[in-house]
Structure 1
Amino acid sequence: MSPGASAEAVLGTAGIARRDVGPAESERASRAWWDADADDYLDEHLADIGQVDFVWSPEALHEADARLLGEVEGRRVLEVGCGSAPCSRWLATQGAHPVALDLSASMLRHARAAGTGTGVVVPLVQAGAEHLPFADASFDIACSAYGAVPFVADPRQVMREVCRVLRPGGRWVFAVNHPMRWMFPDDPGPDGLVVGQSYFDRTPYLEVDDDGAATYVEHHRTMGDRIRDVVAAGLVLDDVVEPEWPEGHERVWGQWSPLRGRLFPGTAIFVTHRPA
């Protein structure tokens, strides 16, 4: 991608559409989008996510404080949708044995560079979340901070795959956009407080090129859908964390802002485990 070229320009994004999108098209769009957008995304958000840190959400909830994963020292941990892998590098500094997985080659390029730059190198795997290239029961913990889950057409398949690769008793914790956020425009200001569409409309949001092919896809699941996906995969739901916007936190991150954060949740974190 040429310097300064946006992902929309590189991919030829011409407009917005609402229609069903299957797993193959959704994966192609996500791979292309994050390959094209990785440089710009990290230029904008590196200060938010850090190089060696585990930040769950725009509410600045850190795993060092929340401890949603439990004890990680000595544990084999899979990060699903790792991006540039700051979470996996942080886990490595805590004595864990992380493996960082992402669909995007460009994001993994940044992850390799950050590993070299920080001296915290973790194994990197390029693959989609719906088909994890790992043996059954090969991880003690799995985690995802806004990675993969909102962008796949079949999130229930992701839950099944994570359950498969977890050892009995293993924990799976994932953060996604709070389902109620779907009703509101992606605007951190007052216009983002006005309901624009039905919470129950599960038609994916997508951006398309001149031929109508998806260049970006985001899928919506209601809170009930997310819970049913977890349970149907054979996992046990232990908690749903809805981080509150912290006092004094003035950072605007995309559609998340102090204005919106004081009124409704932007993030839902699902804490689950595979039964022993």
Structure 2
Amino acid sequence: MEPIIQERDLTGPSGGPAEEHSQPSGPFRRTEGAEGAGPFEPEATRRTSSAAESSRANRGWWDRNADEYQHEHGAFLGDDRFVWGPEGLDEAEAGLLGPVAALAGRRVLEVGAGAAQCSRWLAAQGARPVALDLSHRQLQHALRLADALPPGAGVRLVQADAGALPFAAGSFDLACSAYGALPFVAEPVRVLAEVYRVLRPGGRFVFSVTHPIRWAFPDEPGPEGLSVGSSYFDRTPYVEQDEAGRAVYVEHHRTLGDRVRDVVAAGFRLLDLVEPEWPSWNGQEWGGWSPLRGNLIPGTAIFVCER
């Protein structure tokens, strides 16, 4: 893997999924203290959050929590596995980017790559991936994992804002994002439009996010997470803030219809919407994701789009 991390506009979204809270939140989040402030219990609230505030908060959160996240969830994600979400749907079986055999030689952009596990899987199939993330610490884990694998699977690492991609138009054949960037940004169409710009005509973009219906339920894996607790139509962001009211973590809610309209507004054609069922082999609980809930309500939505 190329040990290249490019610093660009560092105010944009981070990538990767998050874990646990009683309010809606991503599947892989864990609460920590604000940078330089020591451990604390942030206040969870629903309030507006600008693009700049959301970006600053989430970049800081992922830099602070990358170590624990990779330690806690690395075994499930693997070092070079492409998994779309907590259900465990694997790209090797799903083929949402197209036939696996057709990936060889394709240039692929992974948005919100985290430690670049998906990109390493793509490289093993002969693709030429670029793994982009806002979090410097997540990309350091990508370098660490690369050192533990056999040489030869080249993945370029880029630290940049997903809403201002540092690539020329038509640079990529495919793009993907497994819970990366889009749940954390206030302006998702901006990210989608940037991905549209850097794809070649006919290029496919596949991205997964928390299924929007989950925002109506408490983010709990047990029976308490099965009763509707808030309005599905309330788009007010979920914010964790410090004692001074500064956001330290932000997620933005879009309804299923909003997500479809965002895709179309960016210029894409929606080919498929996949709602993975919980498989019988997966007995883990991951934040609010669990076999109990997964067998009753969807937890992940995957959008298959074409330029």
Shorter chain as denominator, the TM-score bin is over 0.9
Deviation at 1:14, TM superposition (A): 2.8
CA distance in structure 2 between the aligned counterparts of 1:248 and 1:78, rounded to whole angstroms? 30
Q: How does 1:206-245 map to 2 (within 5 A)?
A: 206-245=239-278
Higher helix share: 1
SS in 2 for 1:173: strand
Deviation at 1:13? 4.8
Partner of 2:19: none
Question: Partner residue of 2:18?
Answer: none
Mapped to 1, the partners of 2:32 and 2:77 lie a distance apart of 23
Per-residue deviation, 1:72: 1.4
Work out the CA distance in 1 between the residues paired with 2:42 and 2:296: 33
CA distance in 2, matches of 1:26, 1:13: 19
1:67 matches 2:95: yes
User: Cα RMSD (Å) of the superposition?
Assistant: 1.1
Q: Report what 2:68 is aligned to.
A: 40
C-alpha distance in structure 1 between counterparts of 2:149 and 2:219, whole Å: 34
SS class of match (2:173): strand
Match of 2:112 in 1: 81
Whole-Å separation in 2 of the counterparts to 1:228 and 1:66: 24
1:98 and 2:129 matched: yes
Query: Equivalents in 1 of 2:42, 2:255: separation in Å?
Result: 28
**Worse-superposed segment, 8-17 or 24-33:** 8-17
Q: Counterpart amino acid of 1:89? A: R
Counterpart pick for 1:258 among 281, 287, 291:
291
Residue 55 of structure 2 corresponds to residue 27 of structure 1: yes
Q: Which residue of 2 aligns with 1:14?
A: 42
Matched, 1:53 2:84: no
- Preserved contact between residue 128 and residue 154 of structure 2 (Cα < 8 Å): no
CA distance in 2, matches of 1:130, 1:265: 28
Q: Is the 8 A contact 1:236 1:272 kept in 2?
A: yes
Taking structure 2 as the reference length, the TM-score comes to 0.86
Q: 2:156 aligns with which of 117, 123, 126?
A: 123
Q: Which runs of 5+ in 2 are unaligned?
A: 1-29
Helix, strand or coil at the partner of 2:118: helix
| Deviations 1:18-60, CA, capped at 9 Å, x for gaps | 1111111111011000000001111110111100110011111
Specify which structure has the bigger relative contact order, considering alpha-carbon pairs within 8 angstroms and separated by 6 or more residues. 2
8 Å contact kept, 1:112–1:121: no
Alpha-carbon distance in 2 for matches of 1:219, 1:241: 20
| 2:226 matched residue in structure 1 | 193
Query: Equivalents in 1 of 2:31, 2:133: separation in Å?
Result: 18
Task: Work out the CA distance in 2 between the residues paired with 1:121 and 1:29.
Answer: 31
What is the CA deviation profile of residues 228-268 of structure 1, one whole-angstrom value per residue up to 9, with x for unaligned ones?
A: 00001110000000000012321111110000000010000
Paired with 2:142 and 2:259, the residues of 1 have a C-alpha distance of 29
How many residue pairs were aligned? 269
